[in-house]
Amino acid sequence: MKFIAEIDIMPHKELLDPQGKAVLNNLGHLHLNGITDVRIGRHVQLVLDASDEVAAAQMVEIACQKLLANGIVETFHFVLKGA
């Protein structure tokens, strides 16, 4: 079966996010003063073949843990969809 994994990788909430802070500081120049926090991360989409949803989830988990996300400073969350 073919699956699509939508993965969001974000910095840990406890860590500073310099990109997010830079964007937040500049939103005032656009007169968007009601925004109180910005966190910037990455979105990754994987298309994969697996025997079932459990096997697909295991593949995505391994890819995130070993390659896509740095577990020391980032967290990840993913959603699987049938393709």
| Residue 54 confidence (pLDDT) above 90 | yes
Local confidence band at 35 (pLDDT 50, 70, 90 cut-offs) = very high
CATH number of 2-82: 3.30.1280.10
Q: Bridge-partner residues for 47, per DSSP? A: 4
Decide: 69 and 9 in contact? Cβ < 8 Å. Answer: yes
At residue 83, the pLDDT reads: 85
Local confidence band at 58 (pLDDT 50, 70, 90 cut-offs) = very high
DSSP 23: H
Q: Which tops the pLDDT comparison, 58 or 28? A: 58
Record the pTM.
Answer: 0.86
Rounded to an integer, what is the distance from CA 64 to the centroid of its chain? 10
